[in-house]
Amino acid sequence: MRSYFILVCVGCLLAAHSADAGHPVRVDADVVIKKMQQRAEQFEGVDISWVTKTTGGAYALATGEVKLLPTFERVRRETSRLRFKDSDCYRFDHTRRFWSEDREVFVTSEAINVLADERRYFFAGNDLRHPSLMISPDNMKPGDGLSNIYFTVSAVSYWHPVTGLPFDAMHAAIRKGGESAEVREVECVLFEFDGDHGAKHRLWIAFDDRLEALPIRLVVQFKMATAQFDWEYGQTNDDPAVELIGWSHKMTGLNGKTSTFEESIVTDWKRLDSDVTCASLKPELPAGTMVHDYRGPDNSEQYILREDGSKRVIRPGEYDGTNYEELLKTPGPNEAADEK
């Protein structure tokens, strides 16, 4: 594990016409956007791990709708690992441990999100239920939900397109200019722009001599809630490159009270092994996994993977959510026909 020291900003604003807090500031937009694009290239081929502590029970969807987490998930610790080859090839592992009130035991839950060979793989499993895997064409994206927010938050630090940020609107705001501000003793410029679904974005970008064009804080105002993200950076003693070392995510409701707070600390950061391929990132399935393979809107297959590697094919409507064990022990439709 690397040891970091925190960067303290002592520089000046890039091409700023005024450095007083709250005053209009114009920056050299071409230089800033170029730096953002160069940093995005650094996010290709990375292998990142981090731990997260979460307190609270609400999160906001991109539409602005607020969802409440189940009670057992409202205080939890999570570990994550992202192997990001490029926008078309990555694997995100997310594990959390929580207390099950019904069973009165601690439960370990695992989720794996993979994009490989133009298909998405979403694996989920825990100690209390059989594992499952959903496979789909990239344009269908089943299961591509909340868990992805964690790696996109880290990717924001690198301005990578995988974040889904409205970059066109952001670049237009940078060209228009912002106002001077300070966040945690970091000299910044605050830019404002609109996103999807009516979301209002307020973005603080650092213009220190070592943190040039790095995001320090992002506040997204939805209809029913506000999300705030803060990033921290550091350097190793043997590497002058600025790296992300942690971030936080806070949700507040219309009443201004914090409903959810997450704090993440990067535990490992390295380059992805050169021999990693998209195929090697696909999840290895344990016996008993129920697979939902969606090849297209009208073409799908569902089956349970047996110990010997064979498939127990499930007909449409045969699985009702409660008869998993029964299906596993009985022959599938083709097998039943073969036995006659």
Q: Which residues have CB under 8 Å from 299's CB, separation 6+?
A: none
Check pLDDT > 60 for residue 328: yes
pLDDT tens by residue, 15-62 = 444 455 667 888 889 999 999 999 998 899 999 999 998 876 655 555
CA–CA separation, 282 and 285 (whole Å): 9
Output phi, psi for 275, to 5 deg. Answer: -90, 5
Beta bridge partners of 215: 205
pLDDT at site 238:
64
- Confidence at residue 74, expressed as pLDDT on a 0 to 100 scale: 56
First to last CA, the chain: 61
Hey, is 69 helix, strand or coil?
coil
Tokens of 320: 């009702």
Q: Are 313 and 292 in contact (CB under 8 A)?
A: no
**pLDDT tens for each residue of 64-119:** 555 555 554 556 788 999 999 998 899 999 998 776 667 677 778 899 999 998 88
Q: Which domains, ranges and CATH numbers included, belong to the chain?
A: 5-97+148-271 (2.50.20), 287-339 (no CATH)
Query: What does the alpha-carbon distance between residue 292 and residue 120 come to, in Å, rounded to a whole number?
Result: 12
Cα distances (angstroms) measured from residue 156 to each of 43, 162, 218, 337: 10, 9, 10, 54
Q: How far apart are CA 111 and CA 121, in angstroms?
A: 10
- Encoded tokens for 268: 């490992």
Query: Is the separation of the CB atoms in 130 and 289 below 8 Å?
Result: yes
- What does the pLDDT look like over 262-315, one tens digit per residue? 899 999 989 999 899 999 999 999 999 999 998 776 778 999 999 998 999 998
Output the pLDDT for position 96. 83
Neighbours of 144 (CB within 10 A): 15
